Amino acid sequence: MRKKRTKRVFENVEVIDAGAKGKTIGKAPDGKVIFINNAVPGDVIDVQTTKKRKAYYEGAAVKFHSLSKKRTTAQCDHFGVCGGCKWQHMGYEHQLYYKQKEVENNLVRIGHLEIPEIQPILGSKEQYFYRNKMEFSFSDSRWLTLEEINSTHTISDKNALGFHIPGMWDKILDIKKCHLQADPSNAIRLAIKKYAIANDLSFFNPRHQTGFLRTLMIRTSSTGEVMVLLQFREENVSKREALLAHIKVTFPEITALLYVINQKANDTIYDQEIYCYAGRDHIFEEMEGLQFKIGAKSFYQTNAAQAYELYKVTRDFAGLTGNELVYDLYTGTGTIAQFIAKQAKKVIGIEAVPEAIEAAKENATRNKIDNTSFFAGDMKKIFTPEFIATHGTPDIIITDPPRDGMHAAVTEQLLQIAPLKIVYVSCNSATQARDLSLLKERYKIAKIQPIDMFPQTHHVENVVLLERK
């Protein structure tokens, strides 16, 4: 029988830095790094280890000897259990400091890059209630607190409408108030849960794949429009119609009231048919007079105010004069492409998702933009010498890849084309650093601008301007 390893406790550990994925860093007596999930730099703590690896430990603070001056009071009652906003207990100015430091460390240590002075990170005006899209899950066996587990009382209220507990796919934390999305988001979620319980509508059980109510998505826009999408595990016309009618009457401000019947094992809706119960099947976002149609499956930056700042930086770094051919790689629904179109001769957007490209074309038509073209396809397969020969050699390339960064074939093609400038927008400065290291033989880094899109989290966006040597 394998002996279970005893968890160790290290006493009086000073938390010295912030690390990846929202964890903070201390040093064990043996010199190894400890990644800590519930402390702030400057705390002095006792740490109980949860994992031991060859080069490091993972652990949690079990006793605080002194608290950091960088600390602040978390606003949300769910902080510490919900994994969505891990830095709520750290003052916002300190969050920004560590985000900028992460960008610099990744570029220098991972990319081995020579960098100019990084411009001060652009913080978010709103540090709470900034998201325009939230997704919640129903569960008939909610996450129980330690007090509830140890209680002698029978727990009858086991239904939840909220978020997954980090690392637990089948456990849902019931959310009373979320500080990420502005009203009427909380009111809508709570009203739906109250109605469901009062009318004995069954909540989803992911282990047994049973239950009527599955997920809830709420999208809002800066124009004041609201989308609500309910995902049902099975069809029950009378129950579904009654619930949707109740939502429509209770919240007349809802612009798009939609639903999905999903009998698959997973919750993704991208391969499902969306039905419109009331209103439109979309809402609109607006930026500098441009309108962007957003459907249930559309991608749009979840912090609209900071997206505007991000796009302005991107446009500024491009330095357009009106004579340039610009390629916008990973264009999504073409928001950046259309945002810069007035300053360019022509913009060509490329994206893997066909539906996103159709939305980009539709938005361009709506916005009366006639100098953009959009193409759907796998980036490494469509972005080829033949494509360049057909559509022209770009003067400037803007690239905004997913978290994994660009495929090696794409970076190789960038080196072959060698445009005058490349503006690299990234939500993961580690993979950005890797890609930039592959481009450094022909490009120098001219400007770096971190942008905080997600306050109270460790995530940071970064824009880099590359100029051909």
Q: What gap in Å lies between CA 242 and CA 253, rounded to an integer? A: 18
List, run by run, the mean pLDDT of 10-residue segments along the chain (469 residues): 69 94 93 94 96 92 96 93 90 97 95 96 97 96 76 80 87 94 97 97 94 98 96 97 98 98 93 96 95 91 96 98 97 95 97 91 96 94 93 97 94 95 97 97 97 96 97
* pLDDT score recorded for residue 6: 66
The size of the chain, in residues, is 469
Place of tokens 């009618």: 245
Cβ(155)–Cβ(144) under 8 Å? Answer: yes
What separation in angstroms does the CA of 155 have from each of 81, 208, 391?
A: 19, 21, 65
Cβ(137)–Cβ(161) under 8 Å? Answer: yes
* pLDDT score recorded for residue 4: 54
Task: Name the β-bridge partners of 261.
Answer: 232
427 as an active site residue: the answer is: yes
* pLDDT score recorded for residue 1: 46
* pLDDT score recorded for residue 50: 92
Q: What gap in Å lies between CA 15 and CA 9, rounded to an integer? A: 15
Q: What gap in Å lies between CA 407 and CA 25, rounded to an integer? A: 32
Residue 183 class from Cβ within 10 Å (0-12 exposed, 13-18 middle, 19+ buried)? exposed
What separation in angstroms does the CA of 462 have from each of 18, 96, 121, 256, 400?
A: 18, 13, 9, 33, 10
Region of residue 430 (phi > 0: left; psi between -120 and 50: alpha; otherwise: beta):
alpha
H or E element, residue 150: helix 146-150
Q: From the candidates 76, 85, 178, 427, which is the catalytic residue?
A: 427
* pLDDT score recorded for residue 169: 79
Query: Among 371, 370, 378, which Cα is nearest to 330's?
Result: 378
